[in-house]
C-alpha cells in the first residue's frame, strides 16, 4: 500500500512538471531535469549525450513508455548486440524491474512487452550492417538507440525507413538516441548532433553529465574513471566530444577539400583493392574488422588518383565470396581485383580459392612488406599534395572518418585498401606479386 501511494505521488509529480509532459507508463520515479528536457523535445530526431552516468538508458526507456497506453503504438529499443541488452543494468533487466507485476505482459521469446492497449515495446540489436534488414517490413513510432556511437551511420539512417504509422495511430513519430563520446561512431554522431557547423537541421540535442543524475554515487564513479586512459576519462567523465583519436597521417580538411561528384571523369587505369576480413560480429566482439573492396582509378596525364567506390561490410566467409563476385561483375572484366596473400601454404590456398571464385576476372595477389603505416605513407603524401579526389557517395564519410583517425582508430581496412590501390596505380611497390597463373614475378 505504501509503495503504491509513493508511486502515485511520483506520478502526480511527473504530471505536474509543466502539465504538457505525458508521463511514462509505469515508470517508478519521475525523470531528472535533463531527462525531462529530453522527454519534452518535439523534434523527430533527438540525441541525449554527454558523460557516463546521467541516466541515458533510463531516459530512452522512459521515452518508449510514454505512449504505451495507445492502441497501435509500437516501440523498438536497440543495442549493438543482444548481450548488451540483457546484461545487468541493461534495458531488458531495467524494464523487468519496472514492469514486472504490472498489467504489461513480457514475452521472452520475442523480447517484447505487450500492454493492455495492444501497444508493444520490442528490444532488438543490429550487430552488423546486414542485420538492418531483419526489420524490413516492420513499423514503429518510436526507435531508440542506446550507445549510438557503437552503431554505424548506415544502420542509424536505414532505421528511419521503419519509422512510420497508420493513419489511425495518434502518436508522434520519434527517433531517439543516447551515447557517450568515443567509440567507432564518434565522428559521425558528433557531426550529426553536436557540432553547430555540421549539425543536421531539425535535430534536437540534450547534453547531460553525471551530476545531473540525482541517484548516482558520483564520487565513487569518478574514482573508477580515474583509472582510465586520459582520453577515455575525458570522454566519459566530462562528456568531451572534442577529444578523439585523431590520427596524424590523413588530414580531414584535405580529404573534404578533395571531394568530387560521381560524374568526375574516370582515369585510364583502374583497380579494385580488397581487404578480406571475414568475421561477422558475435558475442562480445561486436565490431570486428570489415571486408573492404576499394576501387580507384588513375589519370596518367594529370597524375590524379580518384577513390571511385568502396564496398564495406562485416561478413562471414561465404558472404565475402558473394560480395566479391557481385562487385567484380559490376566492375567488369577489365578491372583487376587485387588481394593480399598471407605467407605459407594457407595463403596460397586462399588465393586459389579466390581465383576459382572470380575465374573470369583478373585476380592479382600480393604479399606486402612493411607495417601498415609505412605502406600508407605514399598515399598520404599524395593526398597531402592535392593529387587525390574522393567521390561523394553514401560511403564517403565513413571513409574519411577512418582515415582521419589512422593509426589510432578502431579500424584500418579502408586505409589498407587505399595503400594497395595506390601501389598498383602508381607502380611504386616492389611487392612480390602472384598473377592468376601462379607465375612469380617482381614488380619494378
What residues contact residue 37 under an 8 Å CB cut-off, 6+ apart? 206
Tell me if residue 403 falls in helix, strand or coil: helix
DSSP result, 302-320? TTEEEEEEEEEE---HHHH
Structure confidence at residue 54 (pLDDT): 65
- Taking each helix axis from N to C end, the angle separating 56-65 and 33-40, rounded to the nearest 10 degrees, works out to 40
Contact 413, 310 (CB under 8 A): no
Enumerate the domain spans of the chain.
2-238, 252-442
Q: Under a CB-based contact definition with an 8 Å cutoff, are residues 339 and 354 in contact? A: yes
How many other C-beta atoms lie within 10 A of the C-beta of residue 313? 18
Q: Which residues contact 340 (CB under 8 A, 6 or more apart)?
A: 274, 275, 276, 365, 366, 367, 368, 416, 420
Q: Is the dihedral of CA 322, 328, 330, 332 positive or negative?
A: negative
Would you tell me the crossing angle of helices 344-357 and 317-331 to the nearest 10 degrees? 50
Residue in this structure with the C-alpha cell 523480447, named with its chain if needed: 111
Q: At what angle do helices 230-238 and 218-225 cross, to 10 degrees?
A: 160
Q: Tell me the C-alpha distance between 415 and 423, whole Å.
A: 12
Burial 133-156 (b: 16+ CB within 10 A, else e): eebeeeebbbbbbbbbbbbbbbbb
How much is the pTM? 0.59
Write b or e for each residue in 317-327: b if 16 or more Cβ atoms lie within 10 A of its Cβ, otherwise e. eebbbebbeeb
Q: Among 336, 367, 335, 368, which residue's Cα sits nearest to residue 351?
A: 367
Look at residue 108 in the predicted model and tell me its pLDDT. Answer: 94
Sign of the CA dihedral running 189, 146, 122, 17: negative
The CATH class of 2-238 is alpha beta
What integer pLDDT is reported at residue 167 of this predicted model? Answer: 78
What would the pLDDT profile of 96-136 be if each residue is shown by its tens digit? 999 998 999 999 999 999 999 999 999 999 988 889 999 99
Residues in the chain, pLDDT under 70: 1-23, 25, 51-54, 210-218, 221, 223-239, 243-248, 278-288, 343-347, 428-444
Say which CATH class 252-442 falls into. Answer: alpha beta
Closest Cα partner for 122 from 89, 150, 162, 153? 162
336-364 pLDDT per residue, tens = 999 988 766 666 788 888 888 888 888 89
Q: What cell numbers appear for 415 in the block? A: 586505409
Amino acid at each position: 500500500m505504501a509503495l503504491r501511494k509513493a508511486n502515485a505521488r511520483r506520478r502526480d509529480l511527473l504530471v505536474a512538471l509543466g502539465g504538457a509532459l505525458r508521463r511514462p507508463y509505469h515508470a517508478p520515479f519521475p525523470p531528472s531535469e535533463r531527462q525531462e528536457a529530453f522527454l519534452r523535445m518535439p523534434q523527430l530526431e533527438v540525441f541525449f549525450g554527454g558523460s557516463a552516468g546521467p541516466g541515458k538508458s533510463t531516459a530512452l526507456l522512459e521515452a518508449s513508455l510514454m505512449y504505451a497506453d495507445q492502441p497501435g503504438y509500437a516501440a523498438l529499443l536497440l543495442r549493438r548486440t543482444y548481450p548488451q541488452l540483457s546484461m545487468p543494468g541493461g534495458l531488458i533487466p531495467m524494464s523487468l524491474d519496472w514492469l514486472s507485476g504490472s498489467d504489461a505482459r513480457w514475452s521472452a521469446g520475442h523480447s517484447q512487452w505487450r500492454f493492455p492497449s495492444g501497444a508493444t515495446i520490442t528490444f532488438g540489436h543490429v550487430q552488423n550492417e546486414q542485420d538492418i534488414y531483419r526489420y524490413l517490413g516492420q513499423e514503429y513510432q518510436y526507435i531508440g538507440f542506446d550507445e549510438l556511437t557503437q552503431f554505424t551511420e548506415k544502420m542509424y539512417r536505414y532505421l528511419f525507413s521503419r519509422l512510420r504509422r497508420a493513419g489511425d495511430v495518434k502518436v508522434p513519430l520519434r527517433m531517439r538516441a543516447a551515447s557517450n563520446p568515443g567509440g567507432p561512431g564518434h565522428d559521425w554522431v558528433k557531426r550529426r548532433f553536436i557540432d553547430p557547423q555540421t549539425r543536421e537541421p531539425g535535430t534536437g540535442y540534450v547534453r547531460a553529465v553525471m551530476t545531473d543524475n540525482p541517484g548516482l554515487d558520483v564520487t565513487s564513479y569518478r574514482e573508477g574513471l580515474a583509472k582510465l586512459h586520459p582520453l577515455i576519462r575525458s570522454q566519459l567523465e566530462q562528456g568531451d566530444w572534442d577529444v578523439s583519436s585523431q590520427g596524424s597521417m590523413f588530414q580531414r580538411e584535405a580529404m573534404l577539400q578533395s571531394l568530387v561528384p560521381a560524374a568526375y571523369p574516370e582515369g585510364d587505369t583502374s583497380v579494385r583493392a580488397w581487404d578480406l576480413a571475414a568475421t561477422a560480429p558475435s558475442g562480445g566482439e561486436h565490431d570486428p574488422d570489415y571486408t573492404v573492396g576499394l576501387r580507384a582509378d588513375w589519370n596518367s596525364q594529370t597524375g590524379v588518383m580518384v577513390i571511385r567506390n568502396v564496398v564495406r561490410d562485416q561478413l562471414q566467409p561465404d558472404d565475402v565470396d558473394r560480395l566479391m563476385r557481385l562487385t567484380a561483375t559490376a566492375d567488369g572484366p577489365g578491372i583487376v581485383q587485387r588481394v593480399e596473400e598471407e605467407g605459407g601454404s594457407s595463403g596460397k590456398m586462399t588465393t586459389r580459392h579466390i581465383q576459382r571464385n572470380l575465374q573470369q576476372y583478373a585476380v592479382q595477389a600480393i604479399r606486402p612488406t612493411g607495417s601498415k603505416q609505412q605502406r600508407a605513407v605514399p598515399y598520404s603524401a599524395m593526398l597531402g599534395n592535392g593529387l587525390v579526389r574522393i567521390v561523394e557517395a553514401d560511403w564517403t564519410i565513413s571513409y574519411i572518418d577512418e582515415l582521419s583517425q589512422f593509426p589510432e582508430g578502431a579500424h584500418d581496412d579502408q586505409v589498407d585498401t587505399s595503400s594497395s590501390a595506390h601501389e598498383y596505380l602508381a607502380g611504386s611497390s616492389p611487392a612480390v606479386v602472384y598473377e592468376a597463373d601462379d607465375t612469380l614475378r617482381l614488380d619494378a
